[in-house]
């Protein structure tokens, strides 16, 4: 169902200018696919869809390209290299301590990436909680953090 919906989303945004999530929900419904705004929002994030100016002068959804994904990777590496003070794993949670004000940037970047096992993030000022699907996912992710540092 998810892959079919995402395939249909790509078809729709490639053939018409879709400016809002509501327009996309309506276009999906016209194709026989029901979706909620929350589900569509996750699809947009997972698919790395971005808004760009169309030749007609309106912003529309387009498929993010490889450069967008690489930009997230570069941004994450910079945030971790310059702002992460410490991290710890507690079962399926990874807790990251950052310099003041950087936890939100770390979480925002993580949320925009397709990280296997990532369930969600919560950021304070200098602490980020990363919920992973299970303990093994948290351990694998902590190994990635170690490489970034």
The values of phi and psi at residue 101, to 5°, are 90, -5
| DSSP-assigned states of every residue in the chain | -HHHHHHHHHHHHHHS---SHHHHHHHHHHTT----HHHHHHHHHHTTEEEEE-TTS-EEEEE--HHHHHHHHHHHHHHHHHHEEEEEEETTEEEEEESTT-HHHHHHHHHTS--TTEEEEEE-SSEEEEEESSHHHHHHHHHHHHHH-
Could you tell me the domains of the chain? Answer: 2-63 (1.10.10.10), 71-148 (3.30.1360.40)
Residue 22 Cα distances to 15, 17, 32, 114, 138, angstroms: 17, 13, 15, 24, 35
Q: At what angle do helices 103-111 and 66-83 cross, to 10 degrees?
A: 150
Whether the pTM exceeds 0.75: the reply is no
Q: Is 48 left (phi over 0), alpha (psi -120 to 50) or beta?
A: left
The tens-digit pLDDT sequence of the chain (149 residues) is 788 898 899 999 989 889 999 999 999 999 999 999 989 988 888 787 888 877 777 888 888 655 555 555 666 677 777 888 999 999 999 999 999 988 888 887 787 676 788 999 999 999 999 999 999 999 999 988 887 77
For 1-28, how does the pLDDT look when each residue is reduced to its tens digit (9 = 90+)? 788 898 899 999 989 889 999 999 999 9
Bridge partners for 73 per DSSP? none
Q: Are 84 and 97 in contact (CB under 8 A)?
A: yes
Q: What is the pLDDT of residue 28?
A: 94
Q: What is the pLDDT of residue 51?
A: 82
Q: How high is the mean pLDDT of the chain? A: 85
């Amino acid at each position: 169902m998810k892959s079919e919906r995402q395939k249909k989303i790509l078809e729709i945004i490639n053939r018409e200018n879709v400016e809002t999530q509501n327009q996309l929900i309506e276009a999906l419904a016209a194709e026989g696919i029901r979706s909620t705004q929350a589900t569509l929002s996750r699809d947009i994030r997972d698919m790395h869809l971005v808004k760009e100016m169309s030749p007609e002068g309106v912003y529309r959804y387009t498929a993010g390209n490889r450069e967008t994904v690489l930009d997230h990777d570069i941004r994450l590496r910079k945030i971790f290299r310059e702002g992460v003070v410490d991290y710890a794993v507690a079962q399926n949670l990874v807790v990251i301590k950052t310099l003041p004000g950087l936890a939100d940037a770390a979480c925002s970047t993580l949320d925009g990436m397709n990280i296997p096992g990532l369930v969600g993030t919560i950021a304070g000022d200098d602490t980020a909680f990363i919920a992973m699907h299970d303990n093994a996912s948290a351990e694998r992710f902590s190994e990635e953090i170690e490489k970034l540092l």
